[in-house]
Amino acid sequence: MMSVNSTMTNQAHPMWDRAAETMPRAEREALQLERLRAQVERARRVPFYRDILNHRELGPHSIRSLDDVRRLPFTTKDDMRRQHPLGLLAVPRKELARIHGSSGTTGKPTFVGYTANDLQTWSDLCARFLVAGGLRPEHTAQVAFGYGLFTGGFGLHYGIEKVGAAVIPVAAGNTRRQLEIMRDLDPEVLICTPSYALTIADTAREMGLEPRALPIRIGHFGGEPWTEDMRREIEEQLDIQAFNNYGLSEIIGPGVSGECQARTGMHIQEDHFLVECLDPETLEPVPEGEPGELVITALTREAMPMIRYRTRDIARLYRDPCPCGRTTMRMSRVTGRTDDMLIIRGVNVFPSQIEEALLRVEGTTPHYLIEVSRPGTLDEVHVKVEIHPEIFSDRMDRMQALCERISREIQTVAGIRAHVDLVEPRSIERFVGKAKRVLDKRGLTD
Amino acid sequence: MKLQQLSLFLENRPGRLEAPLSAIAAEGINILTLSLADTAQFGILRLIVRDWEKAKRVLEQAGWVVNLTEVVAVDVLDRPGGLAEALRILEDADLNIEYMYAFSLRRGDKAILIFRFEDPDRAIQVLTEKGLHVVDGEELMSFVP
Amino acid sequence: MLKELWNDAEGGFHPASAPDFLPQTALKEVQLRRLRAVVARAYAKVQLFRERMDERGLTPESIQSLQDIRHLPFTVKTDLRDTYPFGLFASPMSDVVRLHASSGTTGKPIVVAYTREDVEVWSEVMARTFASCGLHRGDILQNAFGYGLFTGGLGAHYGGEALGATVIPISGGNTDRQIMLIRDFNVTSLCCTPSYFTHMVERARELGIDLRELPLRVGIFGAEPWTDGMRHHIEAEAGIKAYDIYGLSEIIGPGVAAECSAQDGLHVFEDHFYPEIIDPDTGEPLPDGEEGELVITTLSKKAMPMIRYRTRDITSLITEPCSCGRTIRRMRRIGRRSDDMFIIRGVNVFPSQVEAALMAVEGTLPHYQIILTRKGGMDRMAVEVEVTPEVFSDSIRGLEDIRARLAQSIERILGIRVELRLVEPHTIARSEGKAKRVIDRRNEG
């Protein structure tokens, strides 16, 4: 393990990797170009990419400037699904140190592989934004993200460990226990989804604890979209500084970008990711500062060299200088999606997954509606299913068992707990053409 | 000896019970008895009506999901212990009751119990052997004006 | 032989395993050096320990040989509760990189701390654990231990990573997905609690998936006691080798001891964890080979050294050389935890005894539950056993027969009468972690 970087201390703006984070733009672009070429070379080990590159007669030689990235093919979630489980690997399976998953558009998750070097890079990237957002080696951090197949807690766990702070790996759930741990073990830093931070404040009050008097001073939140209003709310209720970070497991997990003390956008770790912002219709770059879909090329990933991954996330990019001294490009919050993916309590969910779960229970399609709300601080999902003779029984226990069975299938396929509401025939609106399956009442964008 | 019972799926919110009842009332169909089982979110309405075929048609045409179930009606003395006695007989015979409900008649000293059994034929046999009176459809209708 | 085993591509050995094969004299030297250092550290940094040493007129210099360990005071679980949260820490928080905690089901919680070096030692002993169970670089390890404050998940995770295996950190739960991954990824090894794996086997069968036909080769099971009967069942049903591992959070988590290919006792990683067996009543050390309570001293822990920690686990140490070539001593599998024991009508009963009795009757899966009640001042013990398709008979006589055989089997082992009830499949709650086998209702109502 690496020791604490010397550049971290005795500086107005501590940084985990000062050289990388403050590199002059021209120098960084030269590095990006070199890495992009190497990555195209590595991608040729993946049959999926090799076929396309050969077909278009592309290779490292075709990349003369960073703009030439636009000659390369896109990669989509569907490409990953078609390569199930791990067809996009550029290394032998034996070289993998870790496998994570992310929600697929169907019941099968899509999978990502990491080499030992990828894991080192990932921890370093998380250490960068954690330090930018105030984490210090003497701190204790409570990780209230789930640990498991989906990347959630791991990147931050290893990032904190790398910085040398203490990790309390509480994982998600059991809020009262989270608070007991917090009260007893004095962590200064909290890691979770932004909505969960508000749940913690609510639960503290229920337990007779003053949320502002809790030991935490800093929060690093991610995994779901949130707004500036929510940030103010969290900071006010818990008396902390709240920082945003961004990442996606298809690329690496959290660590693609994160905020500094200025909190005017998230610094993109450009030495590892080449980020484009495109008009999702024309696939042409949008002018700087305009919203567009982020398309990311992972420049250093060994196990899975993602080329131009279409994230479906809408955000803006900024190049103006930041007072913190980092020279990297910044991105705004994610303000929307170009597909119908939902993020429920930090879990990515596609309506098609819910449909697949319903298909497993005979007679529950085609009329259903997914309703997402946030009655308190946490997301709630109600799946409304129209009743009809095939699934109706005069026995209560059978009807309840039906609801439970649907709920269980949704849990299995989509990994979320949903309430199943049986509704009367024809009570769900009919559409001509593409049915509207989702009603999102949360209001998650500014 | 078995009775035809209609059951309907209802969402548990204000006004939902009234709609199907009005629909069959409008057709002049008489309801002998009904029972409602509900959870916080939905309910099952069970009906015994004079003309079940017509009622089923009317309700289905109005868009309800309707099931037809065979149930058994038994009359017992409408006094303390009347129900318990019937239940004891069923228990001794190891007959599985899926659900039941009761109603009192306007006249006389009898109460009618409606049972849904796993095996209604065997239940009728046992009940009759034990001297209980199983009420058939025609007789039940005759109780009601 | 040692040289051949160095080839880590062939399994069973890993460079980290070198201390498993140390000559006895060298091992004893390491142990004594580390024992003296840890006692000095605990004496200097932990008030509770220093006071107990002072009371006995001891100083770190009193430790001149490994035998002198018997003079040191014991540490017990309540010491961790009484000093909660930071009282037994020997390192400042700035050196601590990890905290784990266990919930206080029986009162106050406990917390354990690790420095960076402690986490490295933990990863090393877990890598040695996996190597001992025949895993190697390139194996795909599905880690179905729960991640979080429970040490099982992260302990196994770091160990798999240190070994160079591919770790799938799936954590507990979502059994269908567990089975899908085993199949789709050609998973070669899996770790979880034995009761959860039994559930996975059962579910795989329901899904029409035969685990025996998949590349899954090794199961590493721990965190609760299990029997050889259960092992045979698991090995036959899943077509794997099932290994027992041992550890506890107070000491480090999993990674204290592990079985090897011989499956005949668990090798204690005694260069880091010094084992003793004592008479649980008198506290006197017992000679090797005799059964008693296991006591462990952590020889290298920095953040939270444990001196003579009383585990409450009953076992014995085996000193005979092992056929695998490891020189570190073995302990017998833990059949009994003094914590799990209950006393019914004056008889000490361990759930594992009931399990062994059930397994002795052919065809019975270990989904069972013990329910203790008290009626008219008299304790009663009921055992509920799920009926499986194998034993189900549509004749009352057939069921009555299996019921009687199960009851007799238990009564023969325990010597007390039990009420045995056959219950429907899936009516006993499944656990994704440690199974809850005993429900004690004797003090209710």
User: Does the beta-carbon distance from B63 to A389 stay under 8 Å?
Assistant: no
Note whether B48 and B88 are same-domain residues.
no
Whether the per-residue pLDDT at A268 is higher than 90: the answer is yes
- Boundary of a domain, candidates A313, A339, A365: A339
Note whether A49 and A198 are same-domain residues.
yes
Note whether B130 and B88 are same-domain residues.
yes
- Boundary of a domain, candidates B69, B103, B122: B69
In angstroms, what CA-CA distances link A15 with A18, A220, A316, A325, C221? 5, 16, 24, 10, 43
Distance CA A140, CA A99 (A): 28
Structure tokens at A403: 């609801």
Could you tell me which chains touch chain B, where touching means 3 or more CB pairs under 8 A? Answer: A
Note whether A267 and A142 are same-domain residues.
yes
User: Does the beta-carbon distance from C170 to A149 stay under 8 Å?
Assistant: yes
A379 is a domain residue: yes
Chain B residues within 8 A of A395 when measuring between CB atoms: 44, 98-99, 116
CA distance A346 to chain B (A): 27
Structure tokens at B25: 């009332």
Note whether A164 and A212 are same-domain residues.
yes
- Tell me the three state secondary structure of residue B55: helix
Note whether B64 and B79 are same-domain residues.
no
| B with C: touching (≥3 Cβ pairs within 8 Å) | no
Q: What is this structure's pTM?
A: 0.80
Note whether B77 and B114 are same-domain residues.
yes
Q: A84 — contact with chain B (CB < 8 Å)?
A: no
Distance CA C93, CA C81 (A): 19
Q: Which tens digit of pLDDT belongs to each residue from A211-233?
A: 999 999 999 999 888 889 899 99
Note whether B83 and B132 are same-domain residues.
yes
Minimum mean pLDDT range among A99-103, B21-25, B78-82, C387-391: C387-391
Note whether B60 and B123 are same-domain residues.
no
* Mean pLDDT, rounded, of chain A: 90
Note whether A387 and A332 are same-domain residues.
no
Radius of gyration of chain A (CA): 23
A63 is a domain residue: yes
By a Cβ cutoff of 8 Å, what residues of chain B touch chain A?
5, 7, 9-11, 16, 37, 39, 41-42, 44, 46, 63-67, 69, 98-99, 116
Whether the per-residue pLDDT at C427 is higher than 60: the answer is yes
Question: Can you give the pLDDT at residue B31?
Answer: 85
Question: Can you give the pLDDT at residue A340?
Answer: 86
Q: What is the mean predicted confidence (pLDDT) over B61-78?
A: 84
- Boundary of a domain, candidates A311, A339, A367: A339
In angstroms, what CA-CA distances link A75 with A71, A280, A310, C405? 13, 14, 6, 62
Note whether A87 and A105 are same-domain residues.
yes
Q: C147 — contact with chain A (CB < 8 Å)?
A: yes
- Boundary of a domain, candidates B69, B87, B102: B69
Q: Which tens digit of pLDDT belongs to each residue from B123-144?
A: 899 888 888 888 888 887 777 6
Distance CA B70, CA A276 (A): 67
Note whether B31 and B51 are same-domain residues.
yes
Q: Which residue among B41, B63, B99 sits closest to A395, beta carbon to beta carbon? A: B99
Note whether B53 and B109 are same-domain residues.
no
Note whether A23 and A135 are same-domain residues.
yes
Distance CA C5, CA C72 (A): 39
Q: Which tens digit of pLDDT belongs to each residue from C236-245?
A: 999 999 999 9
Q: Which residue among B9, B63, B66 sits closest to A426, beta carbon to beta carbon? A: B63
Q: What is the CATH number of the domain that holds B132?
A: 3.30.70.260
Question: Can you give the pLDDT at residue A108?
Answer: 75
Q: Which tens digit of pLDDT belongs to each residue from C208-222?
A: 999 999 999 999 999
Query: A368 forms bridges with which residues in the sheet?
Result: A385
Q: What is the CATH number of the domain that holds A404?
A: 3.30.300.30
Domain ranges, residue B96: 70-143
Residue C105: partners with Cβ closer than 8 Å, 6 or more residues away = none
Domains within chain C, CATH numbers bracketed: 1-338 (3.40.50.12780), 342-440 (3.30.300.30)
Q: What is the mean predicted confidence (pLDDT) over C132-159?
A: 94
Note whether A329 and A241 are same-domain residues.
yes
Whether the per-residue pLDDT at C3 is higher than 50: the answer is no
Q: Which tens digit of pLDDT belongs to each residue from A278-324?
A: 999 999 999 999 999 999 999 999 999 999 999 999 999 999 999 99
Note whether A102 and A60 are same-domain residues.
yes
Q: What is the mean predicted confidence (pLDDT) over C426-445?
A: 77
Question: Can you give the pLDDT at residue C123?
Answer: 97
Q: Which residue among A389, A400, A423 sits closest to B11, beta carbon to beta carbon? A: A423
What DSSP assignment string belongs to C213-245?
GSS--EEEE-SS---HHHHHHHHHHHTSEEEEE
Q: Which residue among A98, A108, A184 sits closest to C167, beta carbon to beta carbon? A: A98
Q: What is the ipTM of this complex?
A: 0.87
User: Does the beta-carbon distance from B37 to A396 stay under 8 Å?
Assistant: yes
- Boundary of a domain, candidates A339, A363, A386: A339
User: Does the beta-carbon distance from A422 to B11 stay under 8 Å?
Assistant: yes
Note whether A291 and A376 are same-domain residues.
no
Note whether B76 and B127 are same-domain residues.
yes
Question: Can you give the pLDDT at residue C249?
Answer: 92
Note whether B104 and B133 are same-domain residues.
yes
User: Does the beta-carbon distance from B67 to A389 stay under 8 Å?
Assistant: yes
Chain B residues within 8 A of A422 when measuring between CB atoms: 9, 11, 41-42
A446 is a domain residue: no
pLDDT band at A9 (very low <50, low <70, confident <90, very high): low
Q: How many domains does chain A have?
A: 2
A445 is a domain residue: no
Note whether B57 and B85 are same-domain residues.
no
Beta strands in C47-193 (DSSP E): 96-102, 110-115, 140-143, 166-168, 189-192
Structure tokens at A399: 């009807």
Question: Which of B41, B64, B69, B99 to mutate to probe the A interface, most A CBs <10 Å?
Answer: B41
Closest residue in B to A389 (Cα–Cα): B65
Closest residue in C to A94 (Cα–Cα): C138
| A with C: touching (≥3 Cβ pairs within 8 Å) | yes
Domain ranges, residue A393: 344-440
CA dihedral B63, B64, B69, B75 (to 10 degrees): -120
Q: What is the mean predicted confidence (pLDDT) over C265-289?
A: 95
pLDDT band at A433 (very low <50, low <70, confident <90, very high): low
Q: What angle do CA A114, A117, A118 make, to 5 degrees?
A: 40
Q: What percent of chain C has pLDDT over 90?
A: 61
Q: What is the CATH number of the domain that holds B62?
A: 3.30.2130.10
Question: Can you give the pLDDT at residue A129?
Answer: 97
> Among A367, A174, A407, A353, which Cα is nearest to B41's?
A407
Q: C136 — contact with chain A (CB < 8 Å)?
A: no
Whether the per-residue pLDDT at A132 is higher than 80: the answer is yes
Q: What is the CATH number of the domain that holds A109?
A: 3.40.50.12780
Question: Which of C89, C166, C302 to mutate to probe the A interface, most A CBs <10 Å?
Answer: C166
- Boundary of a domain, candidates B69, B89, B112: B69
CA distance A399 to chain B (A): 9
Quick one: CA dihedral C228, C229, C230, C232, positive or negative? positive
Quick one: CA dihedral A329, A311, A97, C168, positive or negative? positive
* Residue found under tokens 């309506």: A351
pLDDT band at A386 (very low <50, low <70, confident <90, very high): confident
Note whether B106 and B136 are same-domain residues.
yes
Chain A residues within 8 A of C154 when measuring between CB atoms: 147, 169
Chain C residues within 8 A of A9 when measuring between CB atoms: none
A297 is a domain residue: yes
Q: Which residue among B7, B42, B63 sits closest to A394, beta carbon to beta carbon? A: B7
Note whether A55 and A86 are same-domain residues.
yes
User: Does the beta-carbon distance from A425 to B64 stay under 8 Å?
Assistant: yes
Distance CA A402, CA A398 (A): 6
Q: How many domains does chain B have?
A: 2
Note whether A428 and A300 are same-domain residues.
no
Note whether A332 and A354 are same-domain residues.
no
Whether the per-residue pLDDT at C1 is higher than 50: the answer is no
Whether the per-residue pLDDT at A434 is higher than 80: the answer is no
User: Does the beta-carbon distance from B99 to A396 stay under 8 Å?
Assistant: yes
